[in-house]
């Protein structure tokens, strides 16, 4: 039995006339008659009462008609969903978590994406930036976020620059530095300097080390913290200070002030990118990247 058998049977059952059904289906009447006969032989059920002048459904045919219509409707629904998925209007988009740094653009981007693509479910997966690059390569997420100057030159990755800022010194509102208008790296010599992530895979740590190196100042001892919220909690509790992008406004949410760095040589720049595999054919990724590109216009966002 094939789908055409069901379509042919439904047409005959609705028209109760082989000639009209054949015209509706654009087939010859003998061909239609043979398809119905084949269907009855395949099912072992007499579906139609027919003679030279009339056609009617048997009791079994009435039951079969209901099921045939349901199957054909389900097939059409499945085709529609598949076509929508092909256009990026159905499916599941998995994105690596990014934290508060995205508060300036991500909520609006998600709102716009949801309005245009209501059939797509967006899932955020908790992982560090370093883990996100690995997850992208393994296909566990569709899109992630990365930090650094040369992310756009990474092989195998397409990227969109989302945020540019500079690093300042983030301290609690009760810290003695909180009232200062600026700080130098030498001011941090006696402080516990906190960095995000593991020692060998932390873009945050590498950025801090580069700033000290470019400025020619001996690096303060660093303490690694796992998780961005944990880092902010430690700063707010006066358990250390850190270098964070000035674009982050943490005063109301965490009681943290970020003070400008007074530097002579170093370029304390911060860049955040959306990244995805450049050979990813997924329309979900293309659609979300387009929405991100449109909705990144905020203070600290990156120009093209």
* pLDDT digit string, tens, across residues 18-75: 999 999 999 999 999 999 999 999 999 999 998 877 899 999 999 999 999 999 999 9
pLDDT attached to residue 297: 52
Range of the domain at 17: 3-86
Question: Is 304 among the domain residues?
Answer: no
What backbone torsions phi and psi does residue 110 show, to the nearest 5 degrees? Answer: -65, -40
Share of the chain above pLDDT 90, in %: 51
Closest CA to 104 of 303, 292, 304: 292
Residue 263 belongs to a domain with what CATH number? 3.40.190.290
pLDDT attached to residue 150: 63
Token pair of 38 as six digits: 């084949």
Same domain, 106 and 225: yes
Q: 160: which strand partners?
A: 274
Question: Is 303 among the domain residues?
Answer: no
Question: Is 163 among the domain residues?
Answer: yes
Strand residues in the chain grouped as ranges (E) = 48-50, 55-57, 91-96, 120-125, 144-147, 157-172, 193-196, 222-225, 242-245, 256-260, 269-277
The tens digit of pLDDT for each residue in 87-115 reads: 777 889 999 987 777 777 888 899 999 99
Same domain, 68 and 201: no
Same domain, 62 and 200: no
Question: Is 208 among the domain residues?
Answer: yes
Looking up tokens 């909520």 gives 107
Length of the chain counted residue by residue: 304
pLDDT attached to residue 244: 93
> Across all residues in the chain, what is the average pLDDT?
87
Q: Does pLDDT of 269 surpass 70?
A: yes
Q: Model-level pTM greater than 0.95?
A: no
Domain total for the chain? 2
Question: Is 265 among the domain residues?
Answer: yes
Same domain, 174 and 63: no
pLDDT attached to residue 200: 63
pLDDT attached to residue 41: 93
Question: Is 199 among the domain residues?
Answer: yes
Confirm if 187 and 242 have CB atoms less than 8 A apart.
no
Instruction: Using the 3D structure, point to which of 39, 65, 86 is the last residue of a domain.
Output: 86
């Amino acid at each position: 039995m094939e789908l055409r058998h069901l379509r042919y049977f439904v047409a005959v059952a609705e028209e109760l006339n082989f000639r009209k059904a054949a015209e509706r289906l654009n087939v010859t009447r003998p061909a239609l008659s043979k398809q119905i006969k084949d269907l009855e032989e395949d099912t072992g059920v007499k579906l139609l009462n027919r003679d030279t002048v009339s056609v009617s459904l048997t009791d079994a045919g009435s039951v079969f008609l209901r099921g045939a219509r349901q199957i054909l409707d389900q097939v059409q629904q499945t085709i529609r969903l598949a076509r929508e998925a092909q256009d990026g209007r159905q499916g599941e988009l998995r994105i690596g978590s990014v934290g508060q740094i995205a508060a300036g653009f991500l909520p609006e981007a998600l709102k716009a994406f949801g309005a245009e693509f209501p059939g797509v479910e967006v899932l955020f997966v908790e992982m560090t930036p370093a883990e996100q690059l690995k997850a992208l390569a393994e296909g566990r997420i569709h899109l992630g976020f990365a930090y650094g100057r040369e992310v756009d030159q990474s092989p195998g990755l397409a990227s969109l620059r989302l945020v540019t800022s500079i690093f300042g010194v983030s301290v609690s509102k009760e810290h003695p530095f909180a009232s200062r208008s600026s700080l130098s790296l030498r001011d941090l010599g006696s402080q516990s300097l906190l960095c995000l992530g593991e020692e060998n895979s932390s873009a945050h740590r590498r950025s801090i080390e580069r700033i000290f190196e470019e400025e020619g100042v001996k690096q303060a001892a660093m303490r690694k913290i796992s998780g961005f919220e944990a880092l902010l909690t430690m700063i707010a509790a006066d358990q250390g200070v850190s270098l964070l992008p000035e674009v982050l406004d943490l005063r109301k949410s965490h009681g943290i002030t970020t003070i400008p760095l007074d530097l002579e040589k170093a370029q304390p720049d911060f860049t955040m990118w959306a990244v995805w595999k450049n050979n990813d054919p997924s329309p979900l990724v293309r659609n979300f990247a387009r929405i991100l590109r449109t909705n990144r216009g905020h203070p600290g966002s990156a120009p093209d």
